Structure 1
Amino acid sequence: MKISAKEAAMLLCAHDRILILSHKNPDGDTLGSAYGLLRALRSLGKTVRTQCTDRLPQMFSYLADGVQQEDFTPEFVVAVDVASVSLLGDAVTEAYPNVDLCIDHHHTNELYAQKTYLYDGASACEAVYEVICEMGVSITPDLADCLYTGMATDTGCFRFSNTTPKTMRLAADLMEQGARYAELNRLLFETKSKERIAVERMVLDTISYAADGKIALICISQEMVKESGADESELGGISGIPRTIEGVEIGITMREKEAGGYKISVRTAAYADASKLCAAFGGGGHIRAAGCVINAPYEQAKTMLLEEAARFL
């Protein structure tokens, strides 16, 4: 059942022991949403903690500064930036099979929660911001950092086509309320480890083109990750590399899974729908950015992807 931001705020205010869930392989939006909502609810005297199948990536560690995670049995479970139950991870879904409220911005949301506030905008942090405002919470600098993180990362530092005038206005509000935007922008978009650079170097050697250069595909193998010594959290953003190449309309990244097969990320230009392309393989996401999984050998998976992608040109 879909509800409004005000109704979501009323639900949160009506409960005291609240668990906030992020999706596996967490990014800046799901983490910024979770820690932002946690800080807002704690300011109202609520008992709150966050949980994620995977650990907090080092680059987002500042989101948890000063946050002590108290163990308790929740009476209300919230998922943020999670379009499908499968994205929570098996351990989390087994422990918490029922989600009371979902705050999300993906049009492919499966409406698995009892109540869903589905926001039409660039990031889940924008949705969380609206809910927090409905709760009457004052925005502190730490809270502003959390929400700015999600807005900035999901829009590529406000460069992607999903950036709206409202996104810019909300980000400006957060800047005025103390968000360390210059410091965060440098950390999130201009800083890479030596291990990450090593992975990029190897990935660039895998580039292949199709459709007269309108489609570009890269692959990240398990061997590359092992050889570089890169942490999982350092691989974010690599999927955007193919679309930075001149003339490329559809960029595809194949990431080899430990158990075999490939996790696919698709990034597209103005007219190609990434979510529809990935839907052909059981996936989904946004119009410009989506993903899926293909359990097939490399060459077979690559051929399937390139043939399907060509249909969108």
Structure 2
Amino acid sequence: MKIDVKKTAQLLENHNNIIILVHSNPDGDTLGCGYALLRALRKLGKKAEVLRPENVSKKYNYLFDDLGKEDFTPEYVVSVDVADIKLLEKDAREKYGDKINLAIDHHPSNCVESEYLLLEDTAAAACEIIYKVIDEMNVAFDKKIADCLYTGITTDTGCFRYSNTTSQTYMMAAKLVEHGADGPLINRIMFETKTKSYVILEKLVMDTLEMHFDGRCALVHLDYDMYEKSGSDESETDPIASKTRQIEGVCVGIFLREKEDGSFKISLRTLEEVNASEVCRKLDGGGHARAAGCQCDGPFENAKEKILAAVGEYLK
């Protein structure tokens, strides 16, 4: 059942022992949502915990490194920024995939089977929705909550550069800064601070660059052994997805990441003339108009052929 912000706040106020699910390979939006909501619920005297995946990038530690762990038997399950239960970590999916009471999301392609769904697909980031929910619960915004929400907003708007950025986005960001969010520091951590291992990995990946459709599509791929060569891991790969779209003349950027089982995770980043979500839905994926993803069986040539065929329907 689809619900609004007011009903969502009421549900959260009426439950306790809440477990919050975030998606695998977590980014700043899903983590920002999870920990902002956790902090708000704890301020209301409730027990709450985020089921955090193992492979969280160290750059996100400031979102949760001051929090203690609470032990309890979950009675209410909430997912944030999760468009499909397939995107949950295996452990979370097996334990709670069919027990989600409340899903909060901004992906138009959301297909989570939950008792209640708060979906605002015009929100630039799921953290914009969580902002409204916390405000509706009359929880006072503090610096920690503000930092969490600002992180999600700046992540999903590419530091306010993407076309999903709206006047609401700017106004919320301004209010979060008023509440203590350290915008310059967060933006530096998110977009300007890179580990040596990431720099090496990025070079290995960008060296695989291929151009297709008369230069309108750029494709790169990551072989699984590149992690060992660079000393990196999957948690550091997300920034690479946008690199190909930055090439002059490119309107579709494709990033294929080989997983340990030989399958490929595919990320699309597009300009306005191509709907990334519609392309990825052809391969049972989805996401947003400018950023989406899907998965495909290996080997690499098979995955490449399938995603290029899907993109080609737009770029013929």
- TM-score for both structures, normalised by structure 2: 0.97
Cα shift at 1:147: 0.3
Q: Could you tell me the percent identity over the aligned residues?
A: 48
Structure 1: which amino acid aligns with 2:10?
A: M
For 1:241 and 1:163, locate their aligned partners in 2 and report how far apart those are by CA, in whole Å: 19
Stretch of structure 1 that moved more, 82-91 or 144-153: 82-91
- The reply to whether residue 205 of structure 1 matches residue 207 of structure 2 is yes
Find 1:163's aligned residue among 162, 165, 183: 165
Q: Which runs of 5+ in 2 are unaligned?
A: none
Moved >6 Å (runs of 4+): none
Report the alpha carbon displacement of residue 84 of structure 1 after superposing the two structures with TM.
1.1
- In structure 1, the residue matched to 2:119 is 118
Match of 1:188 among 183, 187, 190: 190
1:104 aligned partner? 105
CA distance in 2, matches of 1:267, 1:249: 8
Q: Is the 8 A contact 2:63 2:148 kept in 1?
A: yes
Aligned-partner SS, 1:264 = strand
Shift in Å at residue 111 of structure 1?
Answer: 4.1
Separation of aligned partners in 1, 2:274 and 2:24 = 27
After TM superposition, the structure 1 = structure 2 runs for residues 73-88 of structure 1, keeping only pairs within 5 Å, are: 73-88=73-88
Distance in 1 (CA, whole Å) between partners of 2:152 and 2:128 is 8
C-alpha contact 2:85 2:112 (8 A) present in aligned 1: no
Q: Is this contact kept in 2: 1:209–1:215, CA < 8 A?
A: yes
| Aligned mates of 1:298, 1:86 — CA distance in 2 | 21
Rounded Cα–Cα distance in structure 2 between residues aligned with 1:55 and 1:205: 25
* Paired residue secondary structure (2:140): coil
On the 8 A contact 1:250/1:269 being kept in 2, the answer is: yes
Matched residue, 1:31: 31
CA distance in 2, matches of 1:88, 1:197: 28
Q: 1:45-56 to 2 correspondence within 5 Å?
A: 45-56=45-56
How many angstroms apart in 1 are the aligned matches of 2:180 and 2:229?
Answer: 40
Name the counterpart of 1:131: 133
Paired residues of 1:145 and 1:180 also in contact (CA < 8 A): yes
Amino acid of the residue matched to residue 2 of structure 1? K
Offset at residue 40 of structure 1 (A): 0.6
Report if the CA contact (8 A) 2:25-2:56 is conserved: no
Equivalent-residue separation in structure 1 for 2:81 and 2:309 (angstroms): 31
SS state at 1:237 partner: helix
State the shift of 1:98 in Å. Answer: 0.4
Query: CA separation of 1:254/1:55 partners in 2, compared to 1, >3 Å: closer, same or farther?
Result: closer
Query: CA–CA distance in 1 between the matches of 2:86 and 2:249?
Result: 35
Paired AA for residue 240 in structure 1: S
Match of 1:310 in 2: 312
The Cα shift of 1:48 comes to 0.9
CA distance in 2 between partners of 1:29 and 1:125 (Å): 6
Deviations 1:46-65 (A, max 9, x none): 11111033343211000003
Contact 1:52–1:92 (CA under 8 A) maintained in structure 2: no
Alpha-carbon displacement from aligned partner over 1:212-267 (angstroms, at most 9, x marks no partner): 10010000111111100013222121010110000001100010111012110011
Q: How does 1:266-305 map to 2 (within 5 A)?
A: 266-305=268-307
What do you get for the CA RMSD once the two structures are aligned? 1.1
Alpha-carbon displacement from aligned partner over 1:180-212 (angstroms, at most 9, x marks no partner): 111111111000011100011111110001111
1:11 aligns with: 11
2:143–2:180 CA contact under 8 A, matched in 1: yes
Structure 1 unaligned residues grouped into runs of 5+: none
- What is the Cα deviation at residue 93 of structure 1? 2.4
Equivalenced residue count is 313
Aligned-partner Cα distance in 2 for 1:261–1:16: 39
State the SS of the aligned residue for 1:79. strand
Gap change, CA 1:301 and 1:93, over 3 Å in 2: closer
2:266–2:294 Cα contact (<8 Å) kept: yes
CA distance in 2, matches of 1:182, 1:228: 29
Q: Distance in 1 between matches of 2:134 and 2:25?
A: 25
**Secondary structure of the corresponding residue to residue 40 of structure 2:** helix
- Does the 8 A contact of 2:55 with 2:235 survive in 1? no
Kept after mapping to 2: 8 A contact 1:26/1:54:
no
Task: Give runs of aligned pairs for residues 135-284 of structure 1, distance below 5 A.
Answer: 135-284=137-286
Q: Which segment is superposed worse, 140-149 or 86-95?
A: 86-95
Contact 1:126 1:151 in 2 (8 A): yes
Say whether the 8 Å CA contact 2:221–2:256 is kept in structure 1.
yes
Describe the shift of the 1:175–1:207 C-alpha distance in structure 2 as closer, same or farther (beyond 3 A): same
- Are 1:267 and 1:288, in contact at CA under 8 Å, matched by a contact in 2? yes
CA deviations over 1:16-53 (Å, ceiling 9, x no partner)? 21111111111100000000001111111111111033
